[in-house]
Structure 1
Amino acid sequence: MKSIFTEEGYQAVQNRINSLTPQTQATWGKMSVAQMMHHCQKPFALMLGKENIKVPFMAKLMSRFYKPLLYNDKLLKQGLPTAKEFVVKDNRDFEKEKQQLLTLVGEVHKLKSQEKFDPHPIFGSFTKEQWGQMQYKHLDHHLRQFGV
């Protein structure tokens, strides 16, 4: 699994994000390309302590079953549920969302030499490798959604 902490993974997602245009259409799902980029900012902002989510008890309970799916080599399935704080329904500005996503991805990539991270509010502790793979995997899922 690629990682946002490697140069290869980081450059790949940067190039893919930069290839998006306001006219890029999803191959599945309901989000526009700008909404998707706003949605994809959330996990990066969460990791950086810039975002927070409320954690329902059942989510905590079920998290141990889903946690390994976040960083293994299998592609994420279409239509998986997301935290309500990560759902984007309003119209978003394409250029603003693109720049913000690139900025957040860059901020997380700069943490590549850091060894310890705060626990995820739902899934708990991850190793550095798992954090990097999880961030790459979620972003890759949505970039594939938009054909890049």
Structure 2
Amino acid sequence: MKSLFEKSNYDEILARIDTLKESDTGNWGKMTVGQMVWHCQVPLDVAIKNKPNNKTGNILIKWFFKKSLYNEKPWRKNLPTSSFAKAKEEKDFENERAILREMVTAFYQLKDRTTWNPHPLFGVFTHDQWGAMQYKHLDHHLHQFGV
């Protein structure tokens, strides 16, 4: 699985983000391109902040979905979005894209981090799983918008 911790993948993701245009429409789903770039910031924020938490997450969610977050199999289209990561209003595309680029870079710079707190919903991930999960999420949504 590709990882956002690998320089070539990091460069690829930034180049794909740069090719997005405000006029782009999704090949599936209901998000606008501005909402999508905002949405893509949410899991990066969780990883970057690396806040300790006492949540154990939902055992069924972990069992059914956790491995799909970082394995080789592409996600299917129109997966449901968690309410906290769903954009409820329109977002300023250029501003949100700039923030996303900064967050992708901030995450990439964590490539040498050795200690990760558990994810608040899915629990413990290895370093490699964090990198793969972030790449896979970004790749999924960039494909959604044709880049």
TM-score, normalised with respect to structure 1: 0.92
Q: Determine whether 1:100 maps to 2:89.
A: no
50 and 111 in structure 1: CA distance in 2 versus 1, 3 angstrom threshold: closer
Match for 2:99: what amino acid? Answer: Q
After superposing on structure 2, the runs of 4+ consecutive aligned residues of structure 1 that deviate more than 3 Å are: none
TM-score, normalised with respect to structure 2: 0.92
85 and 121 in structure 1: CA distance in 2 versus 1, 3 angstrom threshold: same
Structure 1 CA distance for aligned equivalents of residues 49 and 62 of structure 2: 20
Q: Which runs of 5+ in 2 are unaligned?
A: none
Structure 1 CA distance for aligned equivalents of residues 60 and 76 of structure 2: 21
The 3-state SS of whatever aligns with 2:16 is helix
1:4 corresponds to which residue?
A: 4
Is the CA contact (8 Å cut-off) linking 1:48 and 1:108 kept in structure 2?
yes
How big is the alpha-carbon RMSD for the aligned residues of Structure 1 and Structure 2? 2.0
Is the CA contact (8 Å cut-off) linking 1:35 and 1:92 kept in structure 2?
yes
1:15 corresponds to which residue?
A: 15
Q: How many residues align?
A: 146
The 3-state SS of whatever aligns with 1:118 is coil
2:32 corresponds to which residue?
A: 32
Q: Determine whether 1:113 maps to 2:112.
A: yes
Structure 2 CA distance for aligned equivalents of residues 120 and 74 of structure 1: 21
- Cα distance, 1:81 vs. partner? 1.7
- Cα distance, 1:56 vs. partner? 9.9
Match for 2:95: what amino acid? Answer: K
The 3-state SS of whatever aligns with 1:111 is coil
- What's the % identity of the aligned pairs? 43
- Cα distance, 1:61 vs. partner? 3.2
Q: Spell out, residue by residue over 1:27-72, the C-alpha distance to the aligned partner (whole angstroms, 9 max, x if none).
A: 1110010000000000001112289xxx796x44322221110000
What pairs with 1:112-131 in structure 2 (closer than 5 Å)?
A: 112-131=111-130
Q: Spell out, residue by residue over 1:67-88, the C-alpha distance to the aligned partner (whole angstroms, 9 max, x if none).
A: 1100000101111122110011
1:86 corresponds to which residue?
A: 85
